[in-house]
């Protein structure tokens, strides 16, 4: 369980999921920090035209071992926000 994240209602393809961040968690800064510091690729919600901020989009097509490492990095990043 990620304390700062709730899974939003699935929209679009089933191979991606949007994660709703807390309002204090900036989506672009979080996505960039995950990429630069943890080598984890997510997309900020505005790439998908979400009306409000606070979303990250992740792919479910990632191989399971890499996906697990990415979720671990995401968990750590959200426990100690940017």
pLDDT average, residue stretch 64-72: 90
pTM, entire model: 0.72
Buried b (16+ CB within 10 A) or exposed e, 14-36: eeebbbbbeeebbbeebbebbee
Tokens of 67: 């996906």
Q: What is the pLDDT of residues 6-65, one digit of tens each?
A: 555 555 556 677 777 777 788 899 899 999 999 999 998 888 887 677 888 888 888 889
Residue 11 CB partners (closer than 8 Å, separation 6+): 18, 48
> What is the per-residue pLDDT for 11?
54
> What is the per-residue pLDDT for 6?
54
């Amino acid at each position: 369980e990620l304390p700062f994240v709730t899974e939003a209602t699935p929209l679009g393809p089933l191979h991606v999921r949007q994660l709703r961040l807390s309002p204090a968690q900036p989506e672009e800064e979080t996505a960039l920090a995950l990429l630069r510091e943890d080598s984890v690729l997510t997309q900020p919600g505005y790439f998908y035209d979400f009306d409000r901020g606070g979303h990250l989009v992740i792919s479910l097509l990632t191989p399971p071992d890499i996906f697990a490492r990415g979720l671990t990095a995401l968990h750590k990043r959200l426990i100690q926000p940017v």
